[in-house]
Amino acid sequence: MTYVNTAKCVGEVYAACQQVCPQDAIHFVRAIPAGYPSEGQPWMAIDPARCNDCGKCAPACPIGSVVEGANADSLWAQINANLGPVFQGQRATPRGTGEAPRRPDNTLLSR
């Protein structure tokens, strides 16, 4: 099993997940490559080969973009698996987790 970052993160990139990951398993995708959904948009990829399922990233995300298990979002699980290794070592500049989402279809989770 692994944790999966979903499409909610596209264009948001709070990057709180990357701050808490003890495995350096989450990488900044500055622009999603051609051939994938949301091509050209920024996003974060979780490399399932590095993730140890600690679960710290999911509650760290202020919009609930990270889900548990590949079956929770099989399309984006595959995208994480494909792009995670490609963008290994890329760090995002974190946004404040209280900052309003950029997309109207995302909402801040109450904590």
Footprint on this chain of ligand SF4 (rule: CB under 6 A): 3, 20-21, 23, 25-26, 46, 51-57
Distance CA 16, CA 18 (A): 5
Closest approach, Cβ 75 to ligand SF4, in A, equals 18
The nearer residue to ligand SF4, 52 or 107, going by C-beta atoms, is 52
Closest approach, Cβ 98 to ligand SF4, in A, equals 21
The nearer residue to ligand SF4, 56 or 103, going by C-beta atoms, is 56
Look up residue 73 and give its two tokens: 């979002």
What is the amino acid identity at position 31?
A
Looking only at Cα atoms, what is the longest distance across the chain? 36
